[in-house]
Structure 1
């Protein structure tokens, strides 16, 4: 090789070395600058920004958790649970955390938080490993669960309404941060269709939307609590890091005045009566005379509490209005006696039909002119007799006493769907309506109102406010009695006693079909034409409202039936009343009645 070529090669090598040295120097300078910046940043953090950085790190680990309050229970008068919230959980997974999951092999040191199945390693990681552990506890398919956990989100609902036992089993899988459980109270109704529509139901959030659940939602709903704590890398709570908490306050227990045993029996009696008389429907109310408490509120449209049907349909006994028919004569008679325009012994010769003020009125049965007292007009349920006796009973008096007895007035129970009925002012009455209101036509009421009207007579002329809620008990066990409105006197005690006397004579007329052995009964029957499916007066409502025992009133029972075969209330609703009355006397061990000795004459 020539010297020239050797010198050229040597020059090239020297240039490469110089270039390499220059590049190394530049890199060294850059790395030095990076190191200086990093050290400077570290020094800044340590000397000046350490507390704020630590605060930010703590804040990122701090999470709040809601502590759910439990909804209060609904109980019957005897303490039987009608609605309660059961402890249930919603199992939630984090697909993001599941994707990073690596099972911990079980050793002597890791046995408290390791992962295996039947003593064997899982053999996989990620969502598949989580699914293999979790699926057997929830009764799910492991492959499907693995697919569900393979997404990128941080929240997916795996299963709802999981029992506490299953939740505890899941806790032992050591999947904190991947799988969590959220408390959710499942509403349970142990007695199905026992007053189902009356109890109502709750929505998906646990809020009352129908029936008692809605009416008393404010009392039944508790107040959620919370806790704030720090979590570790896997989402688990770091012990001792709780910074703030407030315990939940559970809802209050609401005890009804309704006796579940009576309610069950009344529902059965109504179902039997509907079948026997092939009625369209049947309903009944049982009320304590002295207190105004509702003991039973039933109809034949049975629905399970909590069901869609129960939430969508208030009880028929609450919503259905009707003309009471001849039961309304008790209100008319009470007003006439109280205003001193008639006496129970007043004498009349009563035909079976009458033309008055251009209108014709008829009794239900054809009969020759009868010599009846006012007590006899009531006993024989004479429309004609009531019109004849009303010459001094003004339109305003007729309206006032209907109103005083609660007709056309809200019951005050607060139930969804309750109709106040229809009672127009006397100024709106035509020549016929002003007289039909005397015998229970020309206005509409419901079974609740009608029961309280008769209960006013049974309670010596004093009208109580009706009630469905007996007591309310908070989480500390403190029980408060529901405050009733002040009772109102409607008629004098003497007048009430005279009307009761007349009603006892009515009951004696039906003793062969609607009596209760050993007990005196005071009652009134009713039958009224009502609109049918075609809108015409093609349907019949038959009713019976009775006081038992008549000599020492305890209960008023009202039974109403739509289109029963047998038509008249005394022959259809009456026997159902007797069946319910007998049960009440036995259940509450009411002493037998003393003989009747003071009957007011019904004829002259």
Structure 2
């Protein structure tokens, strides 16, 4: 054997050994794999299958619907409608290959108007989907061409559109997640009063906030297995709990009355060139709010409605001469006077170096206390209050609800401003007798007069029918005879202004007010003109309050001239709508002069 042959043999031996080692290792690995497979199949198959199923099993939230807000007759003011969020899977979209429609594939194919899609991947998905979403196909394709497995393509999609998308054959690529849309069929009718919700569906303003707990439901869920593309595998639901939708909230407000009152306010605002107008209509039998309106044009659910509270509960002002009804009630209850007491009243008077004047010049008059109320004499009120203690002046204001939060609890409601007698100066102690020196809102003012209409008993107001108890928390403020005397005097007030505020066929008990208020600069150049009326006076059904800010009229800006006609328009509507019987003639008027 040659030397070369020996070298070849020596080289082959290490190679063979290495080959044997590698082969042996492969055999051992193969045997291990076979052993593992056998173990899994024979001993651990069930647990592995369970683990695989668990990895595919996912919980899915089923959103609860928010409850509706209804008017007293069940008409919808706010509701949540079924809507869907359309979601795409970009990775699955990239792998999309459309199936052309043939006789064999017609049950499971893709086409656009009977024509082939003409593109694969995200572009093909976008071409199919864009017409249903009313979107640009190129824009939609761009949204589907991003990394990841989840992208929102459209929100607030209707059930009809969702069903159309389901027929496109894009399961696993395009999915629809159930959501809802809060809608307001009459959004301009009660904008700030209804308020709105945030992006999470939580009430953040108005009645949506006040009744959020009642309106909010409890989400449900389903637990099922999903495929590789995220689609639900049929028949794999393991657990489920249906959602509990929120409960409806029914208001005491009548949509028809609310609409009419709002229109009357807008007409009055425009006629008298006022900055704004507001009104409250309250049922005297139940103390329920029938209408709570203003001229603000905020749409329910809008950002403006969430920022601005209802003006009827948030706006505070000096009530002016309407406050005389409260002061006289206290004087009568404390037996300091009767409505027939006689006074000699000049048009100005000085007390404690403070001069007080009536709103108009007049000779010295011979008025009874009823006449002082009818002619709205500030001087007469100061004279009648000579023996009326400051603490009592304050006590009766609070008893009538002035400066106290109402039972409505509406977001943004102001309780007004009423300071204690210890803080009053020599002038304020007398101005509170004629509705100045303190601030109230229309809700408080309405209930104060409703107290007189209800024979001296004040009850909580309500605006939620499901929670409102008729005449809840009754408190006697003045005796029935005192309330009757005030109603008699207020009826004489209404008779004085029949030319501007008559409600044909019905007796009315009213009080008008006018007060100077601060403007934006802080100067007392602004005017509040208001009117509160009970009708019918002989059988009270409603109290109506109307307030205008900065009205302008060639006949004057007094409440009797500006707010009075708006009151009369609303009053006529109420009497006709509720078919209230006409009044009987008045026969018991207390003399206003002597």
> Is the pair's TM-score, using the shorter chain for normalization, greater than 0.5?
yes
1:149 aligns to what?
144
Q: 1:13 to 1:138 in 2, by over 3 A?
A: farther
Separation (CA, whole Å) in 2 of partners of 1:137 and 1:23: 66
Q: Does 1:259 align with 2:254?
A: yes
**Root-mean-square deviation over aligned CA pairs:** 2.0
Which of 508, 523, 526 is the aligned partner of 2:513?
A: 526
2:570 aligns to what?
580
Q: 1:15 to 1:101 in 2, by over 3 A?
A: farther
Q: Does 1:293 align with 2:288?
A: yes
Which of 261, 271, 277 is the aligned partner of 1:276?
A: 271
Instruction: Tell me the secondary structure at the aligned position of residue 469 of structure 1.
Output: coil
Separation (CA, whole Å) in 2 of partners of 1:52 and 1:482: 61
Separation (CA, whole Å) in 1 of partners of 2:414 and 2:114: 67
Instruction: Tell me the secondary structure at the aligned position of residue 560 of structure 2.
Output: helix
Which of 533, 546, 566 is the aligned partner of 1:546?
A: 533
Instruction: Tell me the secondary structure at the aligned position of residue 537 of structure 2.
Output: coil
Separation (CA, whole Å) in 2 of partners of 1:404 and 1:277: 34
- Per-residue CA deviations over 1:307-366 (Å, capped at 9, x if unaligned) read 111111112222111111110010111111111111111111111111122221111111
Q: 1:508 to 1:123 in 2, by over 3 A?
A: closer
2:364 aligns to what?
369
1:51 aligns to what?
46
2:549 aligns to what?
562
TM-score normalised over the length of structure 1: 0.94
Contact 2:84–2:177 under 8 Å retained in 1: yes
1:350 aligns to what?
345
TM-score normalised over the length of structure 2: 0.95
Which of 201, 206, 209 is the aligned partner of 2:196?
A: 201
- Per-residue CA deviations over 1:99-140 (Å, capped at 9, x if unaligned) read 333445667776554444455554544323322322222122
2:238 aligns to what?
243
Contact 2:286–2:470 under 8 Å retained in 1: no
* Equivalent residue runs for 1:173-188 within 5 Å: 173-188=168-183
- Per-residue CA deviations over 1:420-479 (Å, capped at 9, x if unaligned) read 0111111111111111111111111011100110011011111111111112xxxxxxxx
Q: Does 1:399 align with 2:414?
A: no
Query: Is 14-23 or 262-271 further displaced after alignment?
Result: 14-23
1:474 aligns to what?
none
Q: 1:147 to 1:536 in 2, by over 3 A?
A: closer
Contact 1:72–1:254 under 8 Å retained in 2: yes
1:499 aligns to what?
486
* Equivalent residue runs for 1:117-136 within 5 Å: 117-118=112-113, 122=117, 124-136=119-131
1:433 aligns to what?
428
1:30 aligns to what?
25
* Equivalent residue runs for 1:25-104 within 5 Å: 25-104=20-99
Query: Is 398-407 or 15-24 further displaced after alignment?
Result: 15-24
2:417 aligns to what?
422
Contact 2:462–2:468 under 8 Å retained in 1: no
Separation (CA, whole Å) in 2 of partners of 1:375 and 1:481: 36
Q: Return 5+ residue gaps in structure 2 as ranges.
A: none
1:517 aligns to what?
504
Separation (CA, whole Å) in 1 of partners of 2:188 and 2:340: 49
Query: Is 495-504 or 102-111 further displaced after alignment?
Result: 102-111
Q: 1:134 to 1:324 in 2, by over 3 A?
A: same
Aligned length: 591
Q: 1:483 to 1:371 in 2, by over 3 A?
A: closer
Separation (CA, whole Å) in 1 of partners of 2:470 and 2:534: 25
Separation (CA, whole Å) in 2 of partners of 1:128 and 1:389: 87
Separation (CA, whole Å) in 2 of partners of 1:157 and 1:90: 7
1:475 aligns to what?
none
Instruction: Tell me the secondary structure at the aligned position of residue 277 of structure 2.
Output: strand
Separation (CA, whole Å) in 2 of partners of 1:230 and 1:264: 52
Separation (CA, whole Å) in 1 of partners of 2:508 and 2:115: 79
1:599 CA displacement: 0.4
- Per-residue CA deviations over 1:395-422 (Å, capped at 9, x if unaligned) read 1111111000000000121112111011
* Equivalent residue runs for 1:307-326 within 5 Å: 307-326=302-321
- Per-residue CA deviations over 1:50-69 (Å, capped at 9, x if unaligned) read 33322210111101110000
Separation (CA, whole Å) in 2 of partners of 1:99 and 1:561: 64
Separation (CA, whole Å) in 2 of partners of 1:567 and 1:120: 73
